[in-house]
Chains A and B, each alone.
Chain A
Amino acid sequence: MIAASVPVQRPADAKLLVIDPRQRISHLPRASFVELLRPNDLVVANDAATLPASLQGMHVRTEIQVEVRLAGRRSLNVDDVTHFDAIIFGEGDFRTPTEQRASPPTLLPGDRIRLGPLRAVIERLLDHPRLVSLEFAGTPGEIWSGLARHGRPIQYAHVATPLALWDVWTSHAALPVAFEPPSAGFPLNWRVRADIRARGAKFATLTHAAGISSTGDPELDRKLPFDEPYYIPRSTAEELRIGKACGGRVIAIGTTVVRALEHAASLRAVVEGGFGIASQRIGPQSALRAVDAILSGVHEPGTSHYELLRAFVDNDTLERASGELEAHGYKTHEFGDSVLVERSAVKDRGESNTSMRRGTVRAAG
């Protein structure tokens, strides 16, 4: 499929592939998404703003230039910005596809990395020679200032122009905790939210620290998604309860919303407000407890995003959808087209009736 290469959040010709509960496929202009909503439906988006998580700098011991991409954080606490998990690339920048990027020098615990005004030390390696735990020096204020002034949004080679934060913040962006944009939310703007209200549906948000979507390294990509902290406001939990009681559907905007809501729903029968860490993988074996439909970008087979869609519909349907996406020239990646997948009423029960891998679910912190 073709990668969307222009950083426009709402191209006028954006397309939407819809898979309905009977696993039938149709095509619509994406602008008519709202017309698919019914009264009492609840649209839930991830309001994480995107961090400038790409930091250019120097590995001090070898004096080799590196790019650090922040990729994980243990909590959403505003003062907890000293420790990040990060992936380190060698010389070069986003213009070189990640698959072809130079390796960083050998990384050792205790190595210092200078990133513009920021100073960091590698605490330890995380089961991979390029995946490390970093500790930043300074007060939380100095770290926020350094990130804001020196960092750039993470981006990939398929978008030629350097991205600015305004390219990647959704119109509902609130807390800067995402490492890559929760781009499924790009189609939503203030006008769309007014249209959602006008249809008698509702809009709510949660905050999920969306991690890196791919690294260009197959071994690292197999570890994705990392554990991701999230926060569900009490008001959103209340809207979920009301929506369910009134027979409305829960429409998740993006995979991160599915991950957060399903994690919360795996802990208790009713989703409650509060903090948690989504650690589960969602795939064909996962039973969906909270989410009825997902609006998402166009993802290729093999990615964790695609695997998540297999919780909604069976494999044959997804394969048919992939064929249609290809045939109709849908664009992939952050600034591409969208799919709306509603949970199948006819999905093969033999495939989906086992429960989520509870062994990997951690208690909400």
Chain B
Amino acid sequence: MSIPLESPEAGSNPDLRVAITGGTSGLGLALVREWRARGARVAFVARNRGRVERTAAQEGAFGIVGDVSQKDEIYPIATQMLGSLGGLDVLVNNASSLGPTPLALLGDTDCEDFAEAIATNLLGPFRLTKALLGALAASAREGRGSVVLNISSDAAVTPYPRWGAYGASKAALLHMSRIWHAELMPDGIRVLALDPGDMDTPLHALAVPDSDPAELLRPEVAAARLADAIAAELAAKRSASAPLAPQGSEA
């Protein structure tokens, strides 16, 4: 499912606390900017120290140097996110790995590249979400609402040749999101997997080097739509009206 064009609520979110993985380029950076523009407190994590420091200074966000694909880095990242934001309302698992680049047929994919895609796109979001789940539940109990947004892809549902590592990991992420969404419903936490569409980002350029940027969605447009979708979720939580259906749900 693509997210709707119409924005039910595009207002500012001054008391919102948002954490974003992969926040120094592409969609992640656009999301940092979008939520900062809406007045939210934002923490983000990325691997390159120089880029983290530059983005933090430019956007007025809290920058964390770390790699979500590494198990030992998850708790230091979570500690800094919760410490700097004083709690958490929205977690965006955005950091993604394509696996082999250039893209390869599965039979030609090195096991190490496949494992890296799984570590970044599935294990990282699982571990980080799990570490932050207590804080998200606290936020929900306080009536603030709380949302986990996992960035999905049409490759999670369509078996595109040469997208095996990425597609398989995103399919697993989508299914994990749906199960978690069902399990956490009574706790007031929404877990969404949304597909922003094909965007003009470094990741897309790596995957499809000869694509025409003019035909691709600008990441800032996708970021605004996603922020609107989250705002609608939080508003739905507060007014107890019907939530958006997550990607791939039966509703």
Contact = CB atoms under 8 A, between A and B. Distances in A.
Interface in A57-101: 76-78, 81
Interface of A: 47, 49, 51-52, 76-78, 81, 140-141, 144-145, 147-149, 164-166, 169-176, 190, 193-194, 197, 204-205, 233-236
Nearest to A273: B142
A169 B85 CA distance: 18
Nearest to A49: B82
A166 B75 contact: yes
Contacts of A234: 142
Contact of A175 (B65, B135, B137): B135
A350 to B, nearest CB: 41
Given A49-B134, A145-B64, A233-B141, A175 B82 contact: yes
Contact of A144 (B75, B80, B88, B187): B80
Contacts of A51: 79
B142 A144 contact: no
Contact of A174 (B64, B80, B84, B138): B138
A140 B80 CA distance: 10
- Identify which of B65, B83, B85, B187 gathers the most chain A CB atoms within 10 Å of its CB: B83
Given A140-B84, A166-B75, A171 B141 contact: no
A148 B83 CA distance: 10
A148 B74 CA distance: 10
24 contacts: A47-B135, A49-B134, A49-B135, A81-B83, A141-B56, A145-B65, A145-B80, A147-B79, A148-B77, A148-B83, A149-B76, A170-B134, A171-B133, A172-B137, A174-B88, A174-B135, A174-B137, A175-B83, A175-B86, A176-B79, A193-B187, A197-B186, A204-B141, A205-B141
The 6 closest A-B pairs by CB, nearest first: A165-B75, A78-B86, A174-B135, A148-B76, A174-B138, A148-B79
B87 interface: yes
Contacts of B183: 190
Main secondary structure of the interface of A (DSSP, over half): mixed
A56 B67 CA distance: 24
Contacts of A233: 138, 141-142
Main secondary structure of the interface of B (DSSP, over half): helix
A144 to B, nearest CB: 4
A235 B80 contact: no
B221 interface: no
A342 to B, nearest CB: 25
Nearest to B17: A78
Given A165-B79, A166-B131, 4 more contacts: A52-B76, A147-B79, A169-B131, A176-B82
A147 B141 CA distance: 28
A51 B78 CA distance: 11
A81 B83 CA distance: 9
Given A141-B62, A166-B131, A148 B80 contact: yes
Nearest to A76: B86
B63 interface: yes
B83 A176 contact: yes
B128 to A, nearest CB: 12
A145 B77 CA distance: 9
Contacts of A145: 64-65, 80
A78 B62 CA distance: 12
A234 B138 CA distance: 12
B50 to A, nearest CB: 15
Nearest to B135: A174
A175 B87 contact: yes
B82 A169 contact: no
Interface string B71-99: 00001110110111111100000000000
A57 to B, nearest CB: 18
A194 B186 contact: yes
A174 B87 contact: yes
A222 B245 CA distance: 56
A28 B193 CA distance: 43
Contact of B138 (A47, A76, A147, A148): A47
Contacts of A175: 82-83, 86-87, 135, 138
Interface in B110-147: 131, 133-135, 137-138, 141-143
Nearest to A78: B86
B63 A141 contact: yes
Contact of A205 (B56, B133, B138): B138
Contacts of B86: 76-78, 175
A248 B64 CA distance: 44
A81 B62 CA distance: 15
Nearest to B85: A78
Interface in B23-69: 56, 62-65
A269 to B, nearest CB: 23
A165 B141 CA distance: 24
Nearest to A140: B84
Contacts of B134: 47, 49, 169-174
